Structures are given as C-alpha cells and as structure tokens.
Amino acid sequence: MATVPLPPFQNLLDAHARDVHRFLIATVGPVDAEDAYQETWLAALRAYPQLRDASNLRGWLFTIAHRKAIDHVRARARRATPVPEPAELPQAPAADGPGRVTDDDLWSAVAALPDKQRTAVALRFIADSAYAEIATAMEISEPAARRNVHEGLKRLREERTR
Amino acid sequence: MNETNHREDVEMERTLRAALRGGRDEVPPPSIVDAAAAAGLLDVAYARLDSPVGTLVLASTPRGLARLAYVDEGQEDAVLQDIALRLSPRMIAAPARLDEPRRELDEYFAGRRRAFHVALDLRLLSNFTRRVLTATAAIPYGGVATYKEVATAAGSPRGFRAAGNALGSNPLPIVLPCHRVLHSGGGLGGYTGGLNRKRTLLAIERGPGTTA
C-alpha cells in the first residue's frame, strides 16, 4: 500500500483555520479563543510529521482543538468566580424587537450551555462533524454525543421561545 | 420527539449553522507564523514571486533559502507537495519571511543585481551536485561556460554528462546559475525550467537592448 505523502501544513490552515477559530470562540469564548487557537495549531504542527493516518485531518484537528478548549475551561474553573464572567460572553444587542433572534443572541445562548452540550453543538454545527466524529473528539460514546447535541438544541430552543 | 419539535430542530440547526459560521463582525483567525517560528516548528516558510520567467515558489528553512521552483500552469500544488516531501511537511505560507530573497530576485530581474547574498540551505544538493553547482557559481554574471569546463572545475573532467544531470536537478536555479552553462558548440543545452527561461535569463544578464 502506497503511503500518501502529508500535504504542506498550509493546506490544513487554508481548509480549517476559520472553523477551528469559530469552534474555539463558541467553546471557550472570544478572549480565551486567541490562546486556545495558537495552542491548537502549534500542537498540531508539532505532531504533524509523525502523523500516520492523514485520511481525516479535520477530525484530528478538532480533537486537538477540543482538548485545548477543555484546558481553558478547566483553567477558568480553577480561577473561577461563582457567576459567569459577562465579559467572556458575546454581548447581545439590546434594541432588537421581540421574537427576533440575532446571531449574537445565539452566540450568547451557545456560550451559556453546559460544557459538553456546548462542545457537541459546536462540533456538530461549526465543524459539521458526524456523531461518530464528535464522540471521538470528545472521547465519549456515540449515543452520548448524540444526546449532548440534542439536549443542547433543546435548551437553545427553549431559550429562543422564552 | 413530536412533529413540531422536529421541525423546530431543523430550523434551529439551520440558524445555528448560519450564525456560528461567521457573523457580521467575524474576526479573521490570527496568523500562527510567528508563534510557530518561535517554537522552532516552522521548518519551511514559502512564498510566491511573479517574475519575467513566470511564477516562482521560494522556500526557506531556518538556515536559508533551500528551494526555488519554477511553477508551470496548474502545477503549484504539485510543486508545493514536492517541497513538503523533500524538506518537511511543517510548511507554512509566510511571505514576509522571504522578503530578502524576493527583493534580491526582483533586482536581478530588473538588471540591477549581479550577485545574490541571501543565506542558502544546500541540503537538497547531493555532494556531486554541490561540487558542480559551486563551479557554476564561479561563472561571472553575464558570462557562460561549457558543461565540460564545469565538470572539470568540479573535479570530474570526464563526467560532463553527469554534470549536465546535476545541473538539471538544481534545487536553486537562478541563484545557483546553471543557466550560464552551454554546449561547447555554442548550443543552449538543456535547462531545468525549459529553454525559454534559460534564454530569458541570459538576455537579462547581457543587458537591455540585446536579444536572446
């Protein structure tokens, strides 16, 4: 079996940088996302030449991104204040009429989800991951991945109709 | 799950996809080039350069310029893949890191530079190729030599065919001037980037007003 040569790392950046960035903003918030983003790509770059299986580079990248996001969420929990830090959440504009759900509202609602639901939702709708891929990235079972996405969606729907 | 919930889920998913992928004020992802270089993980920085001999790709390692490749129409991906294979897949587009060689090449193409001073990384040259190409580097700007002369200077007077092959595999054309090597009869010989490019380079070195 011929081994497929690893493409230049730039190809990964071109194809996935924006989505990795969005995933991290959704999971750790815009402030920590900058660091988590650099850490994700440096970890990927470090491991890249030894990568044996280049058939699912996107899944591999999001697994790394998820680990870096967890590091940041845990670090934040350690220095935690009991209430969520409002500065970490994207601000919703005040002047929108009733029933109008803006992107910002949705970002805030996603940011307010429990960790696992937030991550699962972000993997599903930013990275377009299949449930099996979400399970791999989050190191949980596939039914658990499915459950987290659905519970996250349910909660977002409730927020929305509130 | 009932029908209404399902329909709402589908709509919610659509909204989520649209919202999470780039709102109005999305900040573009920051560059990782500097962080990668600081961590010693930027094995290869590369950039493109438009020139009178077509698009060039330049690739540098921390030691210096390691590859200068002619890019024919539609061949860029193949050229970059080849560099990743031969140097390292830790390869990132980082034009600012190639400002020096790009500037020197621009000056050369404009007829304002006769010698290159950028640091070179000769890791893609075998020992013999290195001897042959070092010999070509001794041919002055605007001058020419024969394959036989170059082979002799490289210490293999009878190896002029091998010398020709070595020149053909030059990973740093233009900078290591294999285009200055011609057949003893005055014929152009061969060239790694095709004879049109060889003619153009020789014409640039002969100065304005001359033809190939």
Domains of chain A: 9-161 (1.20.140)
The stretch A64-79 carries a mean pLDDT of 89
Which residues does residue B92 pair with via DSSP β-bridges, in sequence order? B45
- In degrees, rounded to 5, the angle at the alpha carbon of residue B33 between the alpha carbons of residues B32 and B38 is 100
Q: What is the mean pLDDT of residues A24-38?
A: 92
Chain B residues within 8 Å of chain A (Cβ atoms): 5, 8-9, 12-13, 15-24, 26-30, 32, 35-36, 39, 41, 44, 46, 80-81, 83-85, 88-93
Whole-number Å distance between alpha carbons of A93 and B24: 13
What does the pLDDT look like over A110-157, one tens digit per residue? 888 999 999 999 999 888 889 999 998 898 999 999 999 999 999 988
Handedness of CA B177, B178, B183, B188 (dihedral sign): negative
Measured between beta carbons, which residues in chain B are less than 8 angstroms from residue A45?
32, 36, 39, 41, 90
Output the pLDDT for position A84.
52
Return the CATH class of domain B127-206: mainly alpha
pLDDT score recorded for residue A54 = 84
Please tell me if the domain spanning B33-109 has the same topology as the one spanning B127-206: no
Closest chain A CA to residue B22: A22
Q: What is the pLDDT of residue A92?
A: 43
Cα of A131 to nearest chain B Cα, Å: 15
Give the model confidence (pLDDT) of B13-66 as tens digits: 887 787 777 655 677 899 999 999 999 999 999 999 999 999 999 999 999 999
User: Which pair of structure tokens corresponds to residue A80?
Assistant: 């935690």
**Residue B39: both structure tokens together:** 């961590």
Which tokens in the block code for residue B132? 């042959």
Lowest-pLDDT choice from A93-107, B78-92, B189-203: A93-107
Here the ipTM equals 0.89
Least Cα distance to B166 among B174, B175, B154 occurs for B154
B108-149 per-position pLDDT tens digit: 999 999 999 999 999 999 888 999 998 999 999 999 999 999
Q: Give the pLDDT band of residue A1 (cuts 50, 70, 90).
A: very low
- As a whole number of Å, the CA-based R_g of chain B is 24
Parse chain B into domains and list their residue ranges. 33-109, 127-206
**CA-closest candidate to residue B20, choices A107, A118, A154:** A107
Q: What is the pLDDT confidence band of residue A78, given thresholds at 50, 70 and 90?
A: confident
Chain B closest-CA separation from residue A95 CA (Å): 17
Q: What is the pLDDT of residue B98?
A: 98
Tokens of residue A33, six digits: 């996302």
- Of the listed ranges B7-16, B79-88, B198-207, the one predicted with least confidence: B7-16
Return the percentage of chain A with pLDDT > 90, whole number: 53
Laid out side by side, the sheet with B64-70 consists of B64-70, B54-61, B44-51, B91-93
Chain A interface mutation, best of B10, B34, B41, highest count of A Cβ atoms under 10 Å: B41
**Tens digit of pLDDT for each residue in A79-119?**
766 555 544 544 444 433 344 456 677 778 888 899 999 99
Q: Which of A17, A42, A121 lies closest to B39 in CB terms?
A: A42
CATH class of B33-109: alpha beta
Say if residue A48's pLDDT is above 90: yes
Indicate the average pLDDT of chain A.
84
- CB A5 to CB B29 under 8 A? no
User: Residue A135 has what pLDDT?
Assistant: 92
d(CA A118, CA B50): 46
Name the residues of B annotated as catalytic. Answer: 178
